Structure 1
C-alpha cells in the first residue's frame, strides 16, 4: 500500500506541507546498507521498513543497540540516504532534495542526537541559542526563549573521573556540578585557577572507624593498632577524625592533609598503620580498628551504625553544588538548590542509602 501522494502533487516546502493531511514522516519499503571491507557483503541496518507518522503525533522507536534506530532518524533529515525505497517528510521525498534544499528545509526539523556534543567555545546558553541566531531571530526573543527552555530541563551527565566536571563547568559546557567537597574544590581552584564557587551543601559520605574486636572506642587498649589510608587526602581525613574525638592532638595549622608526623600528643600510644585505602576493611581481623571509606565499608558489608567513630555529617567533607562565579546569584541557582534541599530528596537519600549517605542540609 502506498503511503505517499504522487510527486506531482507534492507541496513546494515543508511549511506548506505541514498545513495539509500528508503524513509528517513516511517510509515506503526502505532499506539501508552500509559498505563493508573489501570482499565482504554490505552490512544491512534497515530492511524493507514501511511506516507512517501523522502530524502532531508522538512516536517512539524502540530496539536494542544496533537495531537501526539512529539510522532511521538520520534518514529523516537527509544525513543518510536510503539504499532502496522512499523516505518522505511532509510528502517531500528526502532523496530528491538537493543539499541546498536541505540546508533550508532542516530549519523546519528539530533533531536531538544521543551525543552530548557542544561547541567548546560557547556556553550552554549560547549553544542552545545558536540555531535561533542563525535563523535571524531578534536577540530579545532569543534570550526569552532560551531562558524558558533552560528553566524547564535539568540534564544529568555522568563523568568517569574527578577532573573533567570542574573543567566542563569552568568552560561553560555545564551549568553546575555536584561531586566534590570543599577541600577538593579549594585545591582545584588553587592549582587550576577555576572561577567557580560553592552555592550549597548536598550529602556526606562519612568516614568511619570500625573494629571487629572492640565494641566502642573506649575499649581500645593502650598501644592499639589503628589502620588508616596511606594517601594524603584520606589519611589526613582519618587523622582529623581521631583528633576531633580526642584520640590524638595534631600540630597547629595542619589544614586538611595532616600526616602521622603531625601528631604531637597520643595519649593511648596508638600505633598508626598506613595502608592502601582499599585494604583498610580487609585489615580488620589483623588490627584493633581501621578507618574505612564509605564505598569500601559498603563493599565489605559494614553498616554505618557499626562504626565506633564517625565523621560529623556537616564537616568539611560534605559534597556541594558548584557553579561559575558569574552565576552564583542567578535565579535558576536558587531554584536548583531549593529543589535539591526538598523533603522529597532528603527522604530518598535516607531510604535509598540506609545511613551510608547523609543529607547535610
Structure 2
C-alpha cells in the first residue's frame, strides 16, 4: 500500500520538552519492550544549556514496522535539528536498522516517533540522551583538532562556552546512582569512547593493581559489575515475604485461625546505597498495593441457648480472608521533591 491508499485516521499527538542535564535520560516507545500502540505522533524536544551539545545513543534492540519500497513511510523514528539558520534532518529509521549514535551541532534536537493504524512491532525503540560539552568531544582520547577548529569557527564570540566547574566526587556519586548498568554510565560520561573505556577496565596495562579477575581467560569470566549492581537493587527496597499473625493483622479477638500465620508480600530492605538522597532518612514504602483472597480454617466460639442456659460449642469453618500485599516499593526521602 502507498501512503495515499492508507485510510486516514486521527493520530494521537503529544509534544514534550526536555531539558538535558548532566545526568542524562532515556526516551522509549510506549509499552517498550512490548509492541507499541497504533496511531501515534509523538515528539520530544531536547534542549541543552548554551555551550553544550546533545548526544544520542540508540539501544541495539531496535525494531519498528519494516520499510515499504526501501522507505520508512509508516512507522519510524526521525531526528532533526533546528538552529537559527537551518534545519538538519539527521535521518528517518524503521525496521531493525538505526544509527548507533549521533551528536548534535547545536543545543537542540527533536525526536519524532510515528506509528500508523496498521502493523506494529516490538520492542520498539529506546534512545539514551546525554549532555556533551563542546570540549568534552575533542579531548577524549586523541584530540580531534579539525573538529575543534570547525566547532570554534561555527561559534560566535558571544557563544563561547564558559569554563565548566568540574564535578565534585559527591556530584559524580549522585550521577552514578541514576544508571542501571556500567554501559549506560560510560555512555553518558564518555559518549564517543565508552566502548573502548569499557574494554580498558579489563585490559589496561598501566594500573598498579590487577584483581584476580584480570588474569582470567575471557571477559565472560571476569567480574560482572552489572550483576553486583542488580544484587543491591534486588535486596534493597523491594517486596518480599513476611509472615503475619492473622489475629493481629485482622484485629480479630473473637476467633482463631489455622494456620495462625500467612506469608504476604510487604516492602522491606533499606533504600539502596547510591540512590538519590539515600542517606537522608529515606524509608521504604509501598507504591502499589493489592488485596488478595486467602482461605483458612477459622474457629469461633458460638453461644447458643440450651434449656435457659448459655452454652458454647465448637464451630470450625473454612473462611475467606483478605490480606494486603505490596506489589511495588519505592524510597520516600525527606529532601525528595513531590511528584
TM-score, length basis structure 2: 0.26
Q: More strand by proportion, 1 or 2?
A: 2
With CA pairs under 8 Å and 6+ residues apart, which has the higher RCO, 1 or 2?
Answer: 1
Q: More helix by proportion, 1 or 2?
A: 1
TM-score, length basis structure 1: 0.25
